[in-house]
A and B are shown apart, each in its own frame.
Chain A
Amino acid sequence: MKYNEQAKVLENREFASGYRYLTVEAPKQAAEMQPGQFVHIRVPTLEQSALRRPFSVFDAADGKVTVLYKSVGRGTTALSKVQVGETVEIQGPLGRGFPAKCDGVALLVGGGFGVAPLHFLAKRLPKSILFVGGRTKDDLLALDRFEALGVETKVATNDGSAGYKGFVVGPLDETINELRAKGEKFELFTCGPDGLLKAVTERALALKVPGWISVDRHMICGMGACFACIQKTVRGNSRCCIEGPVFKAEELVW
């Protein structure tokens, strides 16, 4: 069931430069939300005709829904100015999320604010390892929240300012090789820029392990009605808002 609710803002806090947590009171959506699903938020200070903005859910529990976002464009900048106690209109839970179980170790691979749905997922999959990449250490988000869940984290930065120097597939491949040497099962879960998603898709297909790929697209309706948020799949042009955002690796055509 999808809902459209007026939700009270409980938190709209900058936790790193330009990055924020927005937490709202949305009990119906929080109760039904699955990791990998998203919400569509109407930014109250934008003009009446402005489109909603889609956000992956970082956490949903105790009647509250939290998203992680970056103030980049007109919508997110306006959203950053919304005060605690004000209301936003929020539509959700939307889209097809990640599966709630994993056979073996869950390898979560995030880029930028792609870590958001992986955090919610990590709460459901206790045997998780997070791999996160960024240009510099300032792009590595919410690591404290993963550590609080007891999730092992492995980081990579292009400039070497934290962890492995290079792309996040570096430490990912190391771990994959270790797990394979030990004969341990694992699955891949990812969200981030398309380049990262392609790299994880290739690995899932080559290794014949389940790969769950969350695709990020600009959206209009979020309900499967407008056909704007397309990703090429084996079925043709698929709507990310309803047939995704999470696709199986073998469904995707890059």
Chain B
Amino acid sequence: MVNMGTNLGGLAMRSPVATASGTFGYGHEYRDIVDYSKLGAVTAKGVRMEAWPGNAMMRHAEVPGGLVNAIGLQGMGVKHFLERDMFMYSMVKDAPPVIVNVWGGTEDEYAQVAETISAAGKPQIGAIEMNVSCPNVKAGGHTFGQDPKVLFSVVSKVRAATKLPLIVKLAPNVPAIAPYVQACEDAGADALSLINTIPAMVIDIEKRVPVLGNRTGGLSGRCVHPAAVKVVYDAHRVTKLPILAMGGIYEAKDAIEFMLAGASAVAIGTATFSAPDTAAKVYDGIVEYCERHGFGSVGELTGALCES
């Protein structure tokens, strides 16, 4: 028996496999067809204080090996999330804790939404993930994640506003990840999520227009995986903060790569759209790998690269 339990900065997870923000709604939408028993957490789509309309259509484009999206963080606001979505989530069988992805237009709004979620005292909510790296929304996205000083400031404010485990989701498109990791650590974050989508663009050459309503978007899916592994590897070398790794996981092999590079847990994103059973299959594959390699606990995989 492999011990599949892990701990992500205070969030106890029965499985190292979670779902990634934006790809699994508010946690309840897939309840008819996904086996939640093998998930260690689900991550809810980005929540802010008030409703937000998101971007114009088109909001996605399929590309070889992946997907470019520019949804633009559409949502009904934190009140609707806490009342309606968390009620729907209470009907999910074998439900794991929810990581609530949050964002805001200002530093204060980030803190306010985190405080509101904490104050609601919902037992199913296990952690907060700060989105400071969405490529699709100027105000509440990457502007907070592209400068280590600004990042330190906003993470500090959210840290002061909540006692829930605090995860910060960082962008991959920076010259080096280390200063951002350091800023999160200094500000009191409990864990990191790596990576957000990679800024991208698709052009319709016949019409000579950008395909996406937002003109540009974020690339996810199979093709981003090696780039994500590198960021996780770089981050793990400079921090003891646990890492929730995501980016192009379609099979157990992809998840195991992340763990060997330094991740404590992994999240399935774009793969769920085409294959909703991906998380369960990845879980089974990790168990099989641990058994075959003599690991008694999945935690032993974290950073277990054999490097000279």
Contact = CB atoms under 8 A, between A and B. Distances in A.
A4 interface: yes
B274 A228 contact: no
B275 A42 contact: yes
B10 interface: no
Interface string A84-103: 00000101000000000000
B274 A42 contact: yes
B53 A237 contact: yes
Interface in B4-54: 22-25, 29-30, 32-33, 45, 51, 53-54
B55 to A, nearest CB: 9
Contacts of A2: 32-33
Interface stretch (A14-22, A43-51, A173-181): A43-51
Given A49-B222, A91-B33, A236 B23 contact: no
A37 to B, nearest CB: 14
Interface string A220-244: 1101111111100000110000100
B65 A49 contact: yes
A240 B11 CA distance: 35
A226 B71 contact: yes
A119 B233 CA distance: 55
B33 A4 contact: yes
Contacts of B74: 227, 230, 237
B212 to A, nearest CB: 11
A226 B273 contact: yes
Contacts of A1: 32
Interface in A2-49: 2-4, 42, 47-49
Nearest to B59: A228
A3 B274 contact: no
A230 B54 contact: yes
B262 interface: no
A227 B58 contact: no
B271 interface: yes
B105 interface: no
Contacts, number: 91
B25 A218 contact: no
B57 interface: yes
Contacts of B59: 227-230
Interface string B266-297: 00001111111100000000000000000000
A211 to B, nearest CB: 22
Contacts of A224: 25, 29
B236 interface: no
Interface residues of A, number: 28
A64 interface: no
B62 A50 contact: yes
A2 B223 CA distance: 30
A51 B71 contact: no
A220 B30 contact: no
A220 B33 contact: no
A21 to B, nearest CB: 24
Residue from A47, A218, A221, A225 with most neighbouring chain B CB atoms (10 Å): A225
A4 B33 CA distance: 6
B66 interface: yes
Contacts of B24: 225
Interface of B: 22-25, 29-30, 32-33, 45, 51, 53-54, 57-60, 62, 64-67, 69, 71, 74, 221-223, 248, 250, 270-277
Interface of A: 1-4, 42, 47-52, 89, 91, 217-218, 220-221, 223-230, 236-237, 242
Given A48-B275, A49-B248, A225-B29, 17 more contacts: A2-B33, A47-B64, A47-B222, A48-B250, A49-B67, A49-B250, A51-B273, A51-B274, A52-B274, A91-B276, A218-B58, A220-B60, A221-B29, A223-B30, A226-B25, A237-B74, A242-B29
17 contacts: A47-B65, A49-B221, A49-B271, A51-B62, A51-B274, A89-B275, A221-B23, A223-B30, A224-B25, A225-B30, A225-B45, A226-B22, A226-B273, A228-B59, A228-B71, A230-B54, A237-B53
Report the 4 A-B pairs with minimum CB-CB distance, sorted nearest first.
A225-B25, A2-B32, A49-B222, A225-B29
